[in-house]
Amino acid sequence: WQGIENGTGNTQYSGQVTLGTAQSGSNYTLTDTGRGNHKTYNLNRGTSGTGTLFTGPDDVWGNGQASNLETAGADAHYGAALTWDYYKNVHGRSGIRGDGVGAYSRVHYGNNYVNAFWSDACFCMTYGDGSGNAKPLTSIDVAAHEMTHGVTAATGNMTYSGESGGLNEATSDIFAAAVEFNANNASDKGDYYVGEKIDINGDGSPLRYMDKPSKDGSSKDSWYSGIGNIDVHYSSGVANHFYYLLSEGSGKKEINGVQYDSPTSDGLPVTGIGRDKASLIWFKALTTKFTTTTNYAAARTGTLAVAGELYGTTSNEYKAVAHAWAAVNVGS
Ligand code: ASN
Ligand code: ZN
């Protein structure tokens, strides 16, 4: 038989957390019965198949260190749970496809593998262990980023190249930030950075900055003709920057102890409407306006339409959406 249990995860990035687990005979498994039976598997440094479902006698998972192979399992399982809860509680969406069915996670993919990815083919997320197998890519924001690729594939499904690819990538970064803020984990407070915990650059810097995407040296702060020709992880900067500005406004701001300074391409200030409204607008645009061919101009039109439906076309929210797009050089 299987019963719903609450296990304890000693994660690497998020401290001690509660995990949804299941009892199976005298053992426990990383099976989140309350969240569509989302399961977490150990690939044990292999690169194919599903590996083995994390199973153990005590319902305590990991010890906070990467050398304990359960630790990355605990982080990944927790990130998936937080992402599930965010979509369910904030947007009323039950699971990636909205059908209540969980996906699964695979950790310890390959050796020194410095990436993580979503696959529609397996309906699963996969995480490498990072450089030296010391920094698994299992932080909350990376998990939410990858799981959101599943949500995008099930909704707007913006084609993963050109401007639509940038919008697809940005959607994953946007909800990565939203999930992290929503979780309010004491060891990993919300921020407008992506990957600040996994030290992918080896100097403690994040992978991406939403207040000023160009801080990574490659991402773009604003739209230009031809932006569709660059890597989707860099053309995403325009929409990441739009989301930051719409949420928080331009200029300097401190949030959870982090200092931001967000520029505008037209030099005009933007007043934010708050993260919750910005996230709602993006979610509703993703699920009711965006399609495979949505480009930046169409994202502007779609988000404006949504803001009009939610708040009215004379509202401050509607005006803020227009101002934030203008601030990243996406005009009419
Ligand atoms: N981690 C990357 C991402 O989710 C993998 C990729 O390039 N698709 O964007
Ligand atoms: Zn991505």
Establish whether residue 146 lines the binding site of ligand 1, counting it when its CB lies within 6 angstroms of any ligand atom: yes
For residue 169, which ligand has an atom nearest its CA? Answer: 2
The catalytic position among 108, 145, 146, 149 is: 146
Cα-flanking dihedrals φ and ψ of residue 323, to 5°? -65, -40
Residue 268 has a pLDDT of 94
pLDDT class for 3, splitting at 50, 70, 90? low
Q: Say yes or no to pLDDT of 5 above 50.
A: yes
- Give pLDDT tens digits for 81-136: 999 999 999 999 999 999 999 999 999 999 999 999 999 999 999 999 999 999 99
DSSP three-state, residue 283:
helix
Q: Say yes or no to pLDDT of 2 above 70.
A: no
Q: Say yes or no to pLDDT of 42 above 90.
A: yes
pLDDT > 70: what percent of the chain? 99
Q: Say yes or no to pLDDT of 21 above 70.
A: yes
The catalytic position among 38, 77, 233, 323 is: 233
Task: Output the CA 26–ligand 2 centroid distance in Å.
Answer: 39
Distance CA 237, CA 244 (A): 10
What's the whole-number mean pLDDT along residues 64-79? 98
What's the whole-number mean pLDDT along residues 157-169? 99
75 token code pair: 């982080």
Establish whether residue 115 lines the binding site of ligand 1, counting it when its CB lies within 6 angstroms of any ligand atom: yes
233 classed as catalytic: yes
Choose one of 125, 137, 146, 200 to mutate for the ligand 1 pocket test, by most ligand atoms within 8 angstroms of C-beta.
146
What's the whole-number mean pLDDT along residues 62-74? 98
Residue 4 has a pLDDT of 73
Cα-flanking dihedrals φ and ψ of residue 36, to 5°? 65, 20
What's the whole-number mean pLDDT along residues 26-42? 97
Establish whether residue 160 lines the binding site of ligand 1, counting it when its CB lies within 6 angstroms of any ligand atom: no
Residue 50 has a pLDDT of 97
146 classed as catalytic: yes
ipTM: 0.95
110 neighbors 44 (Cβ within 8 angstroms)? no
pLDDT > 90: what percent of the chain? 98
- Give pLDDT tens digits for 211-253: 999 999 999 999 999 999 999 999 999 999 999 999 999 999 9
CATH of domain 2-154: 3.10.170.10
Ligand 1, atom nearest to 115 Cα: 1
- Give pLDDT tens digits for 288-329: 999 999 999 999 999 999 999 999 999 999 999 999 999 999
CATH of domain 162-327: 1.10.390.10
Ligand 1, atom nearest to 145 Cα: 4
Model confidence pTM above 0.90 = yes
Q: Say yes or no to pLDDT of 66 above 90.
A: yes
Choose one of 109, 113, 114, 117 to mutate for the ligand 1 pocket test, by most ligand atoms within 8 angstroms of C-beta.
117
Choose one of 233, 234, 236 to mutate for the ligand 1 pocket test, by most ligand atoms within 8 angstroms of C-beta.
233
Q: b/e map of 222-240 (b: 16 or more CB within 10 Å)?
A: bbeeebbebebbbbbbbbb
Distance CA 117, CA 111 (A): 15
Residue 289 has a pLDDT of 99
SS (H, E, C) 212-263: CHHHHCCCCCCCCCCHHHCCHHHHCHHHHHHHHHHHHCCEEEEECCEEEEEC
Residue 1 has a pLDDT of 46
Domain boundaries, the chain: 2-154, 162-327
Task: Output the CA 119–ligand 1 centroid distance in Å.
Answer: 10
